Structure 1
Amino acid sequence: MKKILVTGALGQIGSELVEKLRNIYGTSNVIGTDIREKDGVAETGPFEVVDVTNEEDLFSVAKKHNVDTIMHLAALLSAKAEAFPKVAWYLNMGGLINALEVARELDLQFFTPSSIGAFGPSTPKDNTPQDALQRPTTMYGVNKVAGELLCDYYYNRFGVDTRGVRYPGLISYVAPPGGGTTDYAVEIYYEAIKSKKYTSYINEGTYMDMMYMPDALDAIIQLMEADPGKLKHRNAFNISAISAAPEDFANAIQKQIPEFNMSYHVDPVRQKIADSWPNSIDSSAAMAEWGFKTEYDLDKMTKDMLTKIKEKEIK
């Protein structure tokens, strides 16, 4: 990677990824794009307003900046996709095939994330293997499975250097939650600082995989810099750092804030989505093929999250 275009650059992942990439590869070599323009990455380096459902605009910007890599992050997340399934298909699939076409036409390296949402209730729940039955019951999950297959197709049919990971729930203190089922694992930290209590919309005992954003960003760079000859799977590698239920987050927070309390008011829509996902996934293929590893466990992440949120509030 020498010059990188990032779609969805103002989103939860994109806003932090662009800054990290600029620190590594140089500010002028990372072009952020999004459908809107606002403070943040739009002001710290090259930025273009681009609608990924418009292939001509996306192609024009990629060619203008002479990029060699696209990191395609623009998407509608799980809970919002259930509320607006047709919009989700139009954005998630239309945007993806447009970005893949641009990568094919300009011979670019390509990354896009999949999700544990690609699995469904018939998938093995514990230690879910890399290659497992995928029959999701959500529009977001359908989009992700179709996206995984589409990326494989563009690699096998056209030789596009496509790569991707299946992200678990991502936790960050920088960007606000963006409509995902695992957003409670971000909200709980803010509420712990603000009011020392939180009402979880996900039920007790509901285990899902999670990852702290620094590890999630490192995974992208590790994969994109990996020797392509060692990638047997290429797209949709299982990766995870933490398998936890809401009470596990509460217990970790109580080690830092003893008076913190949590209650439950379950959201049936998001609970149904969570129940269809794995409790834990097997990341061994990513470890073997490109050296995937993480730094943060639940306690280390919790301590850092609370510290960083306090620092933000002081500012």
Structure 2
Amino acid sequence: MSVLITGGTGGIGVGLAQELLARGKDVVLFDIAPQSQRLTDIKDEVKIVQGDLKVWPEMLNAVRDNNVDEIFHHGGMLSIPSDLNPWAAFQVNIMGSMHVLEAARLFGVKKFIFASTDATYGLGTGAVIDDETLQRPITMYGAGKLYIELLGRFYRRKFGLDFRSVRYCTVMRPGVKIRTLPVFMLWMVENAALGEPFECFAAENVVVPVLYYKDAVRATMQLYEAPAEQIKTVCYNLAGIKPTPTTGALEKAIKKFIPDARITYQPDPLVMEYYRTRPVSTIDDACARQEWGWKPEFTDIEKVVADFIEEVKTRGDFWGVGVDDRR
């Protein structure tokens, strides 16, 4: 039997693969555009299946042909691309996820871990959100993720699938190429580490809940390994750095390590409208802490920035860092 990871060669996907291999699991990575540079250390230990979530037979075949009994579903379109092309986002993020759930049902998959997002919260939110806060997303991306959270709960009740989900906030990691709403937090650090200037498209006082990628991987594995009887909430918030940083606080942390970092600000009105509509500054992850012992290791912004810079400088090829091919 094997574990399948959709979006398997993404930053979190590869991190999960490494953790699963260390536990003796057979791992299958399903990805529409495999990033082979990230697999150098594990290429002989994993199986790569190039496929498209929205093509149902490809998903069915991947699960059936590899005797998959557990799935981590991390594949999909990101926030800004989803808003720019909601029709494609519907096919990939909603229908594609339905394909993964149906493959799980048809072929007897036992456990299903879904990567959701704090973007499922939107209209009417205040400064603090917890697992009981009403979810009314304002983006196509958030709407799609919320639908799959609810669909997963249905599959859990109707078909006995052990569906579990984590809601990531902004995951800090190098190598992100696609512009998303909060990607300015990532690019600000990466550009500084590369000696490149960065014009931030949010104001200095914008507050962005962030989670370091190493904590994202560790939390997902903790949820995966938690005994079934401990899973009560099913879909869980995750918090990372505290206090939640502003873009200005991030700039200050960067300049502690790179004093000559060139950072300026030119706020994008659409980005600013999003953060005005959704003024979340604190994520309450008490349910994850109480039910399966979640506790982040990277809670200090300077610790995150230092490790991020080290990743860029020592594993740039792995991450594919650089500013020329962003979009």
Question: With structure 1 as the length reference, what TM-score do the two structures score?
Answer: 0.92
> Is this contact kept in 1: 2:200–2:264, CA < 8 A?
yes
Q: Which residue identity is paired with 2:15?
A: E
Matched, 1:22 2:18: no
> Which of 109, 113, 116 is matched with 2:115 structurally?
113
Q: How does 1:1-315 map to 2 (within 5 A)?
A: 3-26=2-25, 29-40=26-37, 44=43, 45-108=46-109, 109-126=111-128, 128-173=129-174, 175-195=175-195, 197-235=197-235, 237-242=236-241, 243-277=244-278, 278-296=280-298, 297-312=300-315
Deviations 1:229-261 (A, max 9, x none): 1111112x0101122111111111111122334
Give the deviation of 1:313 after TM superposition: 5.5
Deviations 1:144-187 (A, max 9, x none): 211111111111111110011110000113x3243321211211
Deviations 1:198-238 (A, max 9, x none): 21111221112101111000111100100111111112x01
Give the deviation of 1:120 after TM superposition: 0.5
Question: With structure 2 as the length reference, what TM-score do the two structures score?
Answer: 0.88
Q: Distance in 2 between matches of 1:48 and 1:10?
A: 10
CA RMSD of the aligned region, Å? Answer: 2.0
Q: Distance in 1 between matches of 2:198 and 2:62?
A: 43
> Is this contact kept in 1: 2:9–2:36, CA < 8 A?
no
Equivalent position SS for 1:121:
coil
Q: Which residue identity is paired with 1:121?
A: L
Equivalent position SS for 1:69:
strand
> Which shows bigger deviation, 299-308 or 266-275?
266-275
Give the deviation of 1:25 after TM superposition: 3.0
Deviations 1:78-111 (A, max 9, x none): 1111111111111100111111111112222101
Give the deviation of 1:190 after TM superposition: 1.8
Q: Distance in 1 between matches of 2:184 and 2:17?
A: 25
> Which shows bigger deviation, 104-113 or 7-16?
7-16
Structure 1 residue runs of 4+, over 6 Å off? none
Question: CA 1:155–1:267 in 2, change beyond 3 Å: closer, same or farther?
Answer: same
> Is this contact kept in 2: 1:177–1:183, CA < 8 A?
no
Q: Paired residues, what number? A: 309
Give the deviation of 1:23 after TM superposition: 3.2
Give the deviation of 1:38 after TM superposition: 4.5
Give the deviation of 1:273 after TM superposition: 2.9
Give the deviation of 1:62 after TM superposition: 1.2
Equivalent position SS for 2:53:
coil
> Is this contact kept in 2: 1:208–1:279, CA < 8 A?
yes
Equivalent position SS for 1:100:
helix
Give the deviation of 1:121 after TM superposition: 3.1
Give the deviation of 1:197 after TM superposition: 4.0
Question: CA 1:214–1:14 in 2, change beyond 3 Å: closer, same or farther?
Answer: same
Q: Distance in 2 between matches of 1:299 and 1:135?
A: 33
Equivalent position SS for 2:184:
helix
> Is this contact kept in 1: 2:204–2:248, CA < 8 A?
yes
Q: Which residue identity is paired with 1:115?
A: T
Give the deviation of 1:68 after TM superposition: 1.2
